[in-house]
Chains A and B, each alone.
Chain A
């Protein structure tokens, strides 16, 4: 009855590319798995860049009164290190796992908006490059990852350094927001039949909460950056004290975003760990609903603690006490999660492989970071610790010991699913132990450096401060971490050439992604699974253990019989030719050039604001063209089409 919309008359010089091989098929891809891979690879590259920045800083600080780098370069290094690690490493690595795993874990063939997904990736890449472009002009951002006003105001930050930061972050924010809407809709709307919310894997739950945080927290930083950018480029007065503006207001806006942001960084890792621990303990997650609701309440409370970053700005006794209380309260749901993880491992048949080691280390190191966090939830203590290396120790325990260990755990855990091969366990364990030792050697001594009064963000210190010996060890630790990363890279290349082939379900795991072949065919699932319970795949493999579960037997009795390889016939066999899906009558969306054009156009547009108006005009046209082309591109997306 309803005839086709006649909207395709718009000139479309780039028809949707078809096919699944060659470089262009990657550039124009809209497949969530390929986009996930690209996210992961790009983020890892940025990880190396940020790591090198850190190593240079550590070399500079290894000796008192050192002059390896100038103060100006040091400022650029710590600013870019922080910004890179947060926005270009941990967030996109999480996005890589969201991309790869959300559809697989909920039994879907792709995300809700495949082209928007590609747009997110290209915008992220372009924004990351724009942010780093400052180095090429010798004006990389240099005012800290929090960009405090009025250091960042035009009068105090000459040159384009801060402009690269402001605009780069703005572009990255748009990429994150686009991805967040996409995943949000995907999780709400594309769960396999039968998968109610309380049957969703915890990783998907944490992903959902992260998307909600992104959607609600990023607009705040968007506005703050707009205000700063207007101050810098168009001489408005938002943070200009001469006209009555308040630099402290920037801090409010920044931390209003900034504290939810730290949960955006940690919750994905918590989700991964909550998947890994049950699998390698051969037990269901202890207290699933508690883990879920603790995550949700952390997210909600996270919006009302921002001022704990500003205790020393003098908020007044009432406000300071209120924020101290809310900050201490947020440690409660965090603690609940920790007990649940411990309860999961307790009494299980623990297999200590690399993935499990990283997850266990996550729990341990996160406890250290969480405890130091609680110490500076107390304002008088914080007044002593603020702006010292103690804070640096705190957030590296939660971000490195927490987020990165969790993400590496995910890498080892899902690698066989993604590539069809195992990462070498031997090298994996070397990687783990080097990283674990290096991490503690680097960051634990920072606690006492900080309590001894060593300030953060200083480019050198005098010899009579007594900090030199400790700083030496810290630098040694940093290089041990670097070595562990080298081991990981070796592992990557070695196993990609001659790795051991993994089956569909090598870990005898619990969730849907293990019910399909490894590596995953383009269409993921031949038949969309019908979900009946939490950990549905496990229940299908071992129905008898579920019966136990329902009769409330003790946890240990649920341990399944070993020898799960017998159950492989449950996984459909797919030949390589069949992987493209046409045989099964499954049609997947073709690629598209427009997300790429729109994404790079956007970053180009942002960057051009620093230069001539005609460049802005050209960039604006590119962006506009990319968007219109996108809108008018003939739709062949099965999800889009009724």
Chain B
């Protein structure tokens, strides 16, 4: 594994490596910011036109920035989760497992949209605290209301 920070084509030989390893750290490289300077002319609505591709199409970060491809990947993951929710719904597993995994999956979707589409992952921590505090307080209040009214365990 290379120890150099960022670098040239040779240091990033394949995209898998570029996604999963970053310098010395083994983690999924996600963009750290979401805004970018102007792109070159000539793109199509779905991204850059082939002639002006400067990077590999699968680069989901450009330097620190998120790219169109990054968002499309997130959107696809969300769609796949939605589909599997439907699939879980149609199986005849025990109800506890069905419901728990449905709640878990929707929580994953929820946090993915908040983190990546709403950019909380990249943005100022103030927003995370503001929204997170309100969100978890709401969860706590309404769960205690439901528990109080005996709606959680039938």
Interface set of A (CB-CB < 8 Å, partner B): 188, 215-216, 249, 252, 256, 300, 303-304, 307, 315, 319
| In the complex with contacts A216-B134, A216-B137, A303-B137, A256-B145 CB distance below 8 A | yes
Do the beta carbons of A252 and B145 come within 8 Å of each other? yes
Are B145 and A303 interface neighbours, CB within 8 A? Answer: no
Partner of A304, one of B126, B134, B138, B144: B144
Starting from the known contacts A188-B126, A216-B134, A252-B145, 14 additional A-B residue pairs (CB-CB under 8 Å) come to: A215-B134, A216-B137, A249-B149, A252-B148, A252-B149, A256-B141, A256-B145, A303-B137, A303-B140, A303-B141, A304-B140, A304-B141, A315-B148, A319-B148
The minimal Cβ–Cβ distance linking B139 to chain A, given in whole angstroms, is 12
Chain A residues with Cβ below 8 Å from B144 are 304
Q: For the complex, what is the distance from the CA of A173 to the CA of B141, rounded to whole Å?
A: 20
**What are 18 A-B pairs at a CB distance below 8 A?**
A188-B126, A215-B134, A216-B134, A216-B137, A216-B138, A249-B149, A252-B145, A252-B148, A256-B145, A300-B137, A303-B137, A303-B140, A303-B141, A304-B140, A304-B141, A304-B144, A307-B148, A315-B148
Distance, CA A512 to CA B152, complexed state (A): 52
**Considering the chains assembled together, what is the distance between the CA atoms of A319 and B151 in angstroms?**
14
Residues of B within 8 A of A216 (CB): 134, 137-138
Q: In the complex, what residues of A have CB within 8 A of residue B140's CB?
A: 303-304
Main secondary structure of the interface of A (DSSP, over half): helix
**In angstroms, how far is the closest chain A Cβ from the Cβ of B128?**
14
For chains A and B in complex, what number of residue pairs have CB atoms within 8 angstroms? 21
B71-105, CB < 8 A from A: none
Q: How far is the CB of B93 from chain A (nearest CB, A)?
A: 30
Q: Which residues of B sit under 8 angstroms from A319, Cβ to Cβ?
A: 148
Chain B: residues with Cβ within 8 Å of the partner, total of 10
* Complex Cα spacing A63 to B32, Å: 74
Q: Which of chain A's residues have a CB closer than 8 A to the CB of B149? A: 249, 252
Query: Which chain A residue has the least Cβ–Cβ distance from B142?
Result: A256
C-alpha spacing A293/B140, complex, angstroms: 21
CA of A215 to CA of B140, assembled, Å: 16
Minimum CB–CB distance from A612 to chain B (whole Å) comes to 38
Q: Which A residue's beta carbon lies closest to that of B147?
A: A319
- Smallest Cβ-Cβ distance to B148: which chain A residue: A319
Q: Kindly state the separation between the CA atoms of A300 and B134 in the bound complex, as whole angstroms.
A: 11
Q: How far is the CB of A327 from chain B (nearest CB, A)?
A: 14
How long is the Cα–Cα vector from A268 to B9 in the complex, in angstroms? 61
A84 to chain B, nearest CB (A): 28
Q: Please, which residue of chain A has its CB at the minimum distance from the CB of B150? A: A316
- List chain A residues, Cβ under 8 A from B134: 215-216
Q: Please report the C-alpha to C-alpha distance between residue A303 and residue B143 in the assembled complex, in whole angstroms.
A: 12
Complex: how many Å from CA A252 to CA B126?
A: 32
Residues of B within 8 A of A256 (CB): 141, 145
Chain A residues, CB < 8 A from B145: 252, 256
Interface centre among B134, B137, B138, B144 (most CB of A within 10 A): B144
In the complex, the chain B residue whose C-beta lies closest to that of A304 is: B144
Write out the residue numbers on chain B whose beta carbons fall within 8 Å of the beta carbon of A252: 145, 148-149
A187 to chain B, nearest CB (A): 13
Can you list, as one digit per residue, whether each of B117-154 has a CB less than 8 Å from chain A (1) or not (0)?
00000000010000000100110110011001100000
A319 to B144, CA, bound (A): 10
Instruction: Give the CA-CA distance A216 to B135 in the complex, in Å.
Output: 10
Docked pose: A188 CA to B140 CA in angstroms: 25
For B25-63 the 0/1 string (1 means CB < 8 A from A) is 000000000000000000000000000000000000000
Residues on A with beta carbons closer than 8 Å to the beta carbon of B138: 216
B136 CB to closest chain A CB, in angstroms? 11
Report how far A307 CA is from B149 CA in the complex, Å: 11
Question: Contacts of A303 on B, CB cut-off 8 Å?
Answer: 137, 140-141
Residue ID in chain A nearest B144 by CB atoms:
A304
Q: How far is the CA of A300 from the CA of B133 in the complex (A)?
A: 11
Shortest CB–CB separation between residue B52 and chain A, in angstroms? 23
A216 to B145, CA, bound (A): 16
In the bound assembly, the distance between CA atoms of A304 and B141 in angstroms comes to 7
Report Cα–Cα, A315/B134, bound state, in Å.
27
Most buried by A among B126, B145, B148: B148
- Complex: A303 Cα to B136 Cα, angstroms: 13
CA A304 to CA B138, docked complex, whole Å: 11
Nearest-CB distance from B153 to chain A (Å)?
A: 13
CA distance A315 to B149 in the complex (A): 8
Contacts of B137 on A, CB cut-off 8 Å?
Answer: 216, 300, 303
Residues of B contacting A307 in the complex (Cβ-Cβ under 8 angstroms): 148
Of all chain A residues, which has the CB nearest B134? A216
Closest Cβ of chain B: how far from A243's Cβ, in Å? Answer: 17
A215 contacts which chain B residues (CB < 8 A)? 134
Complex Cα distance, B141 from A252, in Å, reads 11
Quote the shortest CB–CB distance from B137 to chain A (angstroms): 6
B34 to chain A, nearest CB (A): 19
Alpha-carbon distance A256/B134, docked complex (angstroms): 15
Nearest 4 A-B pairs (CB), nearest first? A319-B148, A303-B141, A216-B134, A252-B145
Compute how far the CA of A249 lies from the CA of B142 in the bound complex, rounded to whole angstroms: 13
B138 CB to nearest A CB, Å: 8
Contacts of A300 in B (CB 8 A): 137
A188: chain B residues at CB < 8 Å are 126
Chain B residue nearest to A215 in the complex (CB): B134
A319 vs B147: C-alpha distance when bound (angstroms): 9
Shortest C-beta distance, A451 to chain B (Å), equals 29
Closest to A246 in B: B149
- What's the least CB distance linking A23 to chain B, in Å? 40
Q: Closest residue of chain A to B141, judged by CB?
A: A303
Tell me, rounded to whole Å, the shortest Cβ–Cβ distance linking A35 to chain B: 25
Q: How far is the CA of A94 from the CA of B137 in the complex (A)?
A: 25
Alpha-carbon distance between A468 and B149 when the two chains are bound, in angstroms: 42
Shortest distance between the CB of B75 and any CB in chain A (Å):
29
Q: Closest CB of chain B to A629's CB: distance in Å?
A: 30
Interface bits B4-29 vs A (CB < 8 Å: 1, else 0): 00000000000000000000000000
What distance in Å separates the Cβ of A459 from its nearest Cβ neighbour in chain B? 34
User: Inside 8 A of B148's CB, which chain A residues have their CB?
Assistant: 252, 307, 315, 319
